[in-house]
Every structure is written in structure tokens, then in C-alpha cells.
Amino acid sequence: MPTNILMPALSPTMEKGNLTRWLKKEGDKIKSGDVIAEIETDKATMEYEAVDDGTLAQIVVPEGTKDVAVNSVIAVLAGEGEDVKAAASAAKSVPQAAPKPASAPAPKPGVGKPAPAVAPSGPIASSAEAPAQRGGNRIFSSPLARRLANEAGLDLTRVQGSGPHGRVIARDVEAAKSAKGLRAPGVVPAGGAIIGQTMSDAQVRLLYEEGSYELVPHDSMRRTIAQRLTASIQTIPHFYETMDCDIGRLTAAREEINATAPKNKDGKPAYKLSVNDFVIKALALALQRVPDTNVSWTELGMLKHKHSDIGVAVALPGGLITPIVRHAETKSLSAISNEMRDLAARARARKLKPQEYQGGTSSVSNLGMYGIKDFTAVINPPQSTLLAVGAGEERAVVRNGQLAVATIMSVTLSCDHRAVDGALGAELIREFKTLIENPVMMVV
């Protein structure tokens, strides 16, 4: 019996993946452990190893196919002694994964119906010739056209009718769903939809003139980021605490450490510390000092973590990823610096393994290099805290009643109120401030 090769689940949250490249071709002999394909997930491109020996009889899903569902058949393997042609013939009856659609499909009737862009001004009669009222404009339409427009969230005043006397009929509504046959935008209510309801794709497109935009389909990373962060902000009760930190001692220590760093064989410094390396270390130690904040919420109970595994947001084209420095509280600043340099490089090349970016007990998001003074960030589940770091800048401060200039860095702690209360979060950010302002405490 030929063996079906299935689309693997390369992470616990993976539902679909892109089959980037086949490294074997039909007719090739394969041994267990051979790398046969490259699979792109939302975060990384990973190698797919064969489990069984045999001959690659048929490639069902060609390379370059996007959004291939997990556990769908991507190829067929003929076992030792099996007829390869027979196995390939059997593969033809296996359904292939559907390619990624160029645009979102129109909403299905009765499922997640969006509200109409403008509410009717009065009851709609049942007569086939009854008019639909839209903001005082009298639009003749069929009952079916009105129902389809209502389900798609379309404003009938913008639909060009092709029926008798300009009457809007079903085919006009269907054409309008793809932004065809639309009149120029008129007055649109604030938000384009009823408050509290999300606008449908069709409603958004109707706000813009046809041909004035380009539809760029989302890749798997962008979709996953949207889903996870939407779920985070909707299900986690966030609150925020901000504190200013004087990093004058830190910057002086950093310059001295980097200036005296030993050289390797190539004559290059063995390490080069950044402010972010100090931030990672300080947060890791602060979590150890306030262990009740080093937790993850579950319905059955709180997970109290023994180590500080710190995720660090790394920007990628079209998204971001958060590689994790494990046991950061036990590592030296130079070790953290070199590890982060390696993780960031492999993250940008999409070569991270799932265990290198999944989990973690807290995270750091630093936008200081972009000149951002302060900001709030969305927690990355299942973590309970996230530290948003702004730029270090010279500011006027008062010391001993005298005006002075100091290098100040603002940080904002995002907390999951289910797991971390206000006073507890304040303890954590206070400990962070103590450590970051006295960097010598991080090396003893």
C-alpha cells in the first residue's frame, strides 16, 4: 500500500502552511530522515524530514502552494517493492489543497451577517416593486436584491440598477460585492457600520473608489499576528504602569564594558552590549525578585514559573516575531548579547525553531531606536506581562532642589489583570527601575 505524506503541524497553533519548495522530485528514492521539502509557517521556514523509506511516486501539492491545511495529502510514497506507477495513479484521486484565494469571499447568507451601512428609514413593503429608502433617496429594488444587499452590508443607494427603469436586481448586488457597478461614494455614517460591529470586506471596499487601491493579500504571518493580538486584547484585561528610569550609570557602564571587551581571533570584540541587553537582564532579575508576577493564567490555576524566559520583539518585513532568551536571570550580559544577536539574525531569515519563539514568561518590546518616547504594547499570551521600552533622551530633572539634565528612559509595563494586580505590577516595575539604574547589581 502506498503511504500518504501529510502536511505536518510544525507548531501547536499551526493550521495551515505554505509549501515553499520540494527538495526531492518524483521517482527519487527516499530514506527515513531525508529532508524532502521546505514548509513555511507563520513564523519560520522549516525543513520537513521523511519518516518512511520508499520512492516519491507522486507530488500532489506543487511547490509554491499557499495555505495548505495541516494533515492534507501533499505527496504519495511508494514502499519498497511497490509499483510506483500504480501508486502515482492512486494519488490522482486524492484531493489537492485549495490555493490561497486572491481576496476574501463574500459573506455567506445567515452567517456572521454585518449590519447594513445605513439603516432603513422605514419598513420595507413586501411588494416586488417596493422602494428601499436610503437617506431620502428612493431606490427601486427587488426583495431578493434587498435581502442580498442586507446580508453583504451593501448600501443600495450606491448600487447601479440594471433592471427595468433602473431597478436594482440580484445580479447588480452580486456585481457590487466585487466593487463593480458602484456609484461614487456619498455620505457615509461615522465608522461605516453600526457601533460595536466590525465592517465587512465589502463595506470597507465600498468606501473607496474602484481602481484607487491595490488589494495585497495577507500572508500567513500577518494573519496569525492579527488573530493572536485581537484575541489578546479582547480576552486579556490589560492595564498599564509607566515609570521613568535614569540610565546615566547604565550608558557609562556600557561604554566602559564595550571599550574593554576582549578580542577574538579575527580581532573583533567578543561582545558588544546594547541597552536592550541590560533591559532583558534587569527584567529577568526583577521577575525573580517578584515571583508572583512571573506567572501564566490558566482556568485551573496559576502557572508560577521558576525561570525568567524573556521574549524580545524582532521586526520582520510584514510582521514581527519574539525569540526567547531562556533562563535569562542566570546568564551574563555578554551571553545575552551574543544570544540575542544570533536569535535576531535567524529570526529575520525565518530559521527559528518553534521552541525558540513559543512560550516565554514575559517580553520586551523596544522602540527606542525609532525615537519613540513611550508607548503601550499588547501582551503576548500566555505571558502575563510585557515591558514597552522607549528612547533614552536627555531631559530636565530636579535633583536636591536644583534643575539638572539626565538621560531618562520611559518604560511601560502591560499587565494581565487576571494574574497581576496593580500593586503587584508596581512592585515589578519598581524592581526593574532599581536594577536598570544601578547596573552593577546585575553583575553580582
CB 378 within 8 Å of CB 414: yes
Point out which residues pair with 114 in neighbouring strands.
Answer: none
Q: Give the model's pLDDT for residue 97.
A: 43
CB 155 within 8 Å of CB 172: no
Give CA 27 to chain center in angstroms: 39
Task: Give the other-Cβ count within 10 Å of 167's Cβ.
Answer: 17
Catalytic residues: 417
- The pairing of strands 73-78 and 137-140 is unpaired
Among candidates 115, 106, 120, 122, which has minimal Cα distance to 193?
115
Amino acid letter, residue 144: L
**How far is it, in rounded angstroms, from Cα 84 to Cα 79?**
8
Q: Give the model's pLDDT for residue 91.
A: 58
Q: Which helix (H) or strand (E) holds 37?
A: strand 35-40
Helical H segments across 153-292, by residue range: 170-177, 201-206, 220-235, 248-259, 275-289
Q: Give the model's pLDDT for residue 187.
A: 38
- At residue 376's C-alpha, the angle toward residues 370 and 380, to 5°, is 100
CB 164 within 8 Å of CB 141: no
What are the helix and strand counts (H, E) for the chain?
Answer: 9, 20
Distances in Å between the Cα of 118 and the Cα atoms of 156, 182, 193, 200 are: 9, 16, 8, 14
DSSP state, residue 326: T
**How far is it, in rounded angstroms, from Cα 435 to Cα 261?**
22
CB 442 within 8 Å of CB 255: no
We find that the CATH architecture of domain 3-91 is Beta Barrel (2.40)
Q: Which residue has the cell 527516499?
A: 30
Q: What is the CATH number of domain 224-442?
A: 3.30.559.10
ω into residue 12 within 30 of 0, thus cis? no
DSSP state, residue 356: G
3-state secondary structure of 232: helix
CB 364 within 8 Å of CB 371: no
- Name the pTM for this structure: 0.64
Give every strand in the sheet of 65-69, ordered side by side: 45-49, 35-40, 16-22, 65-69
Q: What is the CATH number of domain 131-206?
A: 4.10.320.10
**How far is it, in rounded angstroms, from Cα 149 to Cα 171?**
11
Distances in Å between the Cα of 204 and the Cα atoms of 101, 151, 170, 197, 308 are: 18, 15, 21, 13, 43
Q: Give the model's pLDDT for residue 293.
A: 98
Q: List every span in the chain annotated with CATH 4.10.320.10.
A: 131-206
Task: Give the other-Cβ count within 10 Å of 105's Cβ.
Answer: 8
- The pairing of strands 362-366 and 385-399 is parallel
Among candidates 62, 71, 99, which has minimal Cα distance to 217?
99
Among candidates 174, 197, 187, 183, which has minimal Cα distance to 112?
197
3-state secondary structure of 221: helix
Q: List every span in the chain annotated with CATH 2.40.50.100.
A: 3-91
Among candidates 253, 265, 283, 260, which has minimal Cα distance to 366?
283
Locate 444 and state its grid cell.
Answer: 553580582
Q: Give the model's pLDDT for residue 12.
A: 65
CB 159 within 8 Å of CB 210: no
- At residue 250's C-alpha, the angle toward residues 249 and 255, to 5°, is 100
What is the chain's alpha carbon radius of gyration, rounded to the nearest angstrom?
29
Name the E strands within 41-188. Answer: 45-49, 54-59, 65-69, 73-78, 131-134, 137-140
CB 363 within 8 Å of CB 312: yes
DSSP state, residue 166: G
Distances in Å between the Cα of 111 and the Cα atoms of 162, 222, 308 are: 28, 24, 44
Task: Give the other-Cβ count within 10 Å of 103's Cβ.
Answer: 10
Among candidates 367, 407, 394, 391, which has minimal Cα distance to 252?
407
For 123-177, how does the pLDDT look when each residue is reduced to its tens digit (9 = 90+)? 333 333 334 444 344 567 787 888 888 777 777 777 878 777 677 888 888 888 7
List the chain pLDDT tens, one digit each, 444 residues: 678 899 888 776 778 889 999 999 988 998 888 889 989 887 778 888 888 888 998 899 999 998 899 889 999 988 877 777 777 666 555 444 444 433 434 444 333 333 333 333 333 333 333 344 443 445 677 878 888 887 777 777 778 787 776 778 888 888 887 665 555 554 333 334 444 456 778 888 888 888 899 999 888 888 888 888 999 999 999 999 999 999 999 999 999 999 999 998 888 999 999 999 999 999 999 999 999 999 999 999 999 999 999 999 999 988 899 999 999 999 999 999 999 999 999 999 989 988 999 999 999 999 999 999 999 999 999 999 999 999 999 999 999 999 999 999 999 999 999 999 999 999 999 999 999 999 999 987
Q: Give the model's pLDDT for residue 139.
A: 66
